[in-house]
């Protein structure tokens, strides 16, 4: 297709409850949506950058700027544009993977809609539904945590992930195991809050039979993760450290992880996410799909990715109601602990205009 227009939609969606991690507390999700219009179709992508550069160096205003000044003009110059051409067209621009992912997804959605093909089929999905896990933020107290976990289990979630940080790790894990038993699939996520000097402390999590500990150390400390993996029994999973298929292959070879969390926005898009999946399958390393509090647009694409054969662990593909009272698409709901994989053209969902209008704070139309 030939790109004829791009729109940047800024939205603000209140969360149903504050979500606290080791890098801060969110009460509202500020997001940037990208709408790409071509000669015969249009598509949507969601940028997962946060409002502030806390989780990563990327943030919403920066993503909008690099899209406006560099990425969209570069794609506008491509006469025969498809999703596979986005990466090569943008490769000369360093970083900004979340912005690249949003634009590539919008082009991919448009391309697939024009051909009446679904993203799940395009990526190579083998399942029509995927098991859903839920991420539980840091709470004010252990009783509050236990109430939240109990509610999520009652809703049908098949896996519980606890956010941890120094001072909130051993006690909450102990309490959850004692209250809900050893059969609950349980894992923890540190969001880079520890150092390798904490290895002895983190080894105290070993008796709890966790699925994994996610990104315990700084994202650039791959060797530190390899050292930590030798000192604890709990499997180490990398998240923020995995930025590409090359990075995944290196981490696996170094012994820095035995499980990988794939977040398409973090790695530059769904095509690179599929390449990471393929690398992991070749090395016998399980993968699962992470989440970034996406709206239904991003959630639909994540669910399609999670239906690939190498995604053998439940991901953070929660129901829409986990984070939002009202989503901007038809809501994703749990059915026996699973989410249905969209089968419609493209990512399989579209924004509901009234719901989108209600949370939109600005729309910028870029000339191409």
Residues known to be catalytic: 163, 263
Secondary structure percentages of the chain, helix, strand, coil, to 5: 40, 25, 35
Give the end-to-end CA distance of the chain in Å, rounded to a whole number: 14
Question: What tokens were used for 92?
Answer: 């000369």
Following CA atoms 199, 202, 204, 208 in sequence, which dihedral angle do they give, to the nearest 10 degrees? Answer: -140
**What is the spatial distance between Cα 188 and Cα 221, in angstroms, rounded to a whole number?**
19
Contact by Cβ (8 Å): 208, 169:
no
Contact by Cβ (8 Å): 100, 268:
yes
**What is the spatial distance between Cα 196 and Cα 220, in angstroms, rounded to a whole number?**
12
The total of other beta-carbon atoms located within 10 Å of residue 255's CB is 15
Q: At what angle do helices 245-254 and 270-283 cross, to 10 degrees?
A: 30
Spatial CA neighbour of 87 closest among 266, 304, 272, 264 = 272
């Amino acid at each position: 297709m030939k790109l004829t227009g791009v729109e940047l939609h800024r939205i603000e969606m209140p969360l149903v409850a504050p979500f606290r991690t080791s890098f801060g507390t969110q009460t509202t999700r500020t997001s940037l949506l990208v709408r790409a219009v071509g000669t015969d179709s249009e598509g949507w992508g969601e940028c997962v950058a946060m409002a502030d550069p806390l989780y990563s160096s990327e943030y919403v205003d920066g993503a909008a700027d690099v899209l406006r000044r560099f990425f969209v003009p570069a794609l506008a110059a491509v006469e025969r544009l498809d999703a596979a051409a986005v990466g090569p067209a943008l490769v000369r621009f360093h970083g900004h993977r979340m912005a690249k992912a949003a634009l590539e997804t919008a082009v991919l959605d448009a391309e697939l809609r024009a051909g009446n093909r679904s993203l799940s089929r395009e990526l190579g999905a083998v399942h029509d539904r995927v098991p859903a896990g839920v991420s539980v933020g840091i709470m004010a107290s252990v009783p509050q945590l236990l109430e939240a976990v109990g509610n999520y289990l009652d809703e049908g979630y098949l896996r519980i992930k606890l956010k941890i940080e120094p001072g909130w790790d051993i006690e909450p894990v102990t309490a959850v195991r004692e209250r809900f038993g050893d059969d609950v699939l349980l894992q923890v996520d540190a969001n880079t809050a520890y150092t390798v000097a904490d290895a002895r402390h983190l080894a105290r999590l070993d008796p709890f039979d966790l699925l994994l500990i996610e990104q315990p150390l700084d994202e650039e400390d791959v060797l530190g993760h390899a050292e930590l993996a030798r000192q604890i029994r709990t499997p180490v999973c990398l998240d923020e450290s995995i930025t590409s298929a090359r990075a995944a292959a290196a981490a696996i070879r170094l012994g820095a992880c035995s499980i990988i969390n794939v977040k398409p926005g973090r790695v530059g898009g769904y095509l690179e996410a599929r390449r990471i999946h393929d690398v992991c399958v070749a090395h016998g390393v399980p993968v699962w799909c992470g989440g970034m509090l996406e709206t239904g647009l991003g959630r639909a694409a994540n669910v399609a990715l999670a239906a690939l054969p190498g995604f053998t662990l439940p991901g953070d593909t929660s129901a829409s109601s986990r984070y939002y009272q009202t989503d901007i698409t038809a809501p994703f709901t749990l059915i026996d602990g699973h989410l249905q994989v969209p089968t419609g053209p493209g990512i399989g969902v579209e924004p509901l205009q009234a719901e989108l209008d209600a949370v939109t704070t600005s729309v910028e139309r870029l000339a191409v």
